[in-house]
Amino acid sequence: MKKGRQGSGFRGQESSSWIGWFGILCVAMATGCSTPRAGLMDPKIKAFSEAAEVAYQRGELDRADALYANALQRARLTDNGTEIAHNAYNLALCRMASGKPGEARNLLVQARVLMAGRGLEEARILLAEAEAARLAGAAVESGELARRAVTAGADREGRVQAQLLQAQAALVSGNLKEARTYYLSAKDKVSKATAPILRARLDALAVTLIQAQVMSGDIAAIHLSQAGWLKKSGHFAEMVVALNAAGGAFEQVGNWPQAFDCRIRAAQSLLAAGLREPARLAAGRAVELAEKTGDLNHKALAAGVLGDLK
């Protein structure tokens, strides 16, 4: 099994691989497709798609995009329907990660038509299309595409993603109870295989539902959980936002040690990212919290980070 950046893929016998995908607001598909036996696939398609996948896994998004575009062009030239679908899908994921959901949707529609009736593969494409619709601001359509993905045969992880999307669509439509129902159903299906970014998005949804008073829960703890999943998925800027949110929530209930931990972690990450003013604000708050905890180690750490910012 070959791991994707945010998902995984299985290797079969007939065609090039599906890739997982990444991006601040995106989430990977849970499965992949295949690498061919020698001689079964056009060697140029194979070379382009394999090089593109390597670039993608390295985070070289522009290079991956160009190579998948070459693979798609070759697949169209050679009238290879399966490879047209695979490479249109993969190219669409690159376009989504580049903030081009409209271009992604055009490619995904083509891939979906070519893979119609093929169960898990069609479901995977529908989920990607649902994500593209969500990113484009078409929440209701996103929810409907997610529902179709479940009907098409999405696997367990795909159903987690689909029900999250349906919950988010219901939330945008103002149907809080329906959003809660979909959220709870998605949470019930979460497993060790669930992508960290999905877990982070579920936590964000939980906070919204708690704040809307349709669900109960510890907001500070959930923000902290969200920060952990964002850390695992490599979304460090969003991790800092979640850490600061957790810190603020812990402060509201007077949990000074936890609040300090969140603020100092945020300050250190911001410092490393070169965001000095936000880092200074977080570190300054950590200094104040260290006074509240009375812990000498807290005071030393906060002073040290603040000193690095002078």
Residue predicted with more confidence, 297 or 8:
297
Say if residue 196's pLDDT is above 60. yes
Whether 99 has a pLDDT exceeding 50, the answer reads: yes
Chain centre distance of CA 308 = 32
Dihedral angle, C-alpha 264, 268, 269, 275, nearest 10 °: 110
Q: What is the pLDDT of residue 171?
A: 96
Give the global pTM: 0.85
Q: Are 193 and 157 in contact (CB under 8 A)?
A: yes
Cβ atoms 126, 114 nearer than 8 A? no
pLDDT the model gives residue 118: 86
Is the separation of the CB atoms in 72 and 19 below 8 Å? Answer: no
CA distance 292 to 254: 9
Measured in whole angstroms, how far is the alpha carbon of residue 199 from the centre of its chain?
Answer: 9
Token pair, residue 237, equals 């800027």
Are β-strands 2-3 and 8-9 bridged in parallel, bridged antiparallel, or unpaired?
Answer: antiparallel
How many helices (H) and strands (E) the chain has is answered by: 14, 2
Check residue 183 and give its pLDDT.
98
**Residue 31 contacts residue 153 (beta carbons within 8 Å):** no
pLDDT tens digits, residue range 290-310?
999 999 999 999 999 999 998
Distance from C-alpha of 7 to C-alpha of 3, rounded to nearest angstrom:
6
The arithmetic mean of pLDDT across residues 5-27, rounded, is 41
**Cβ atoms 33, 17 nearer than 8 A:** yes
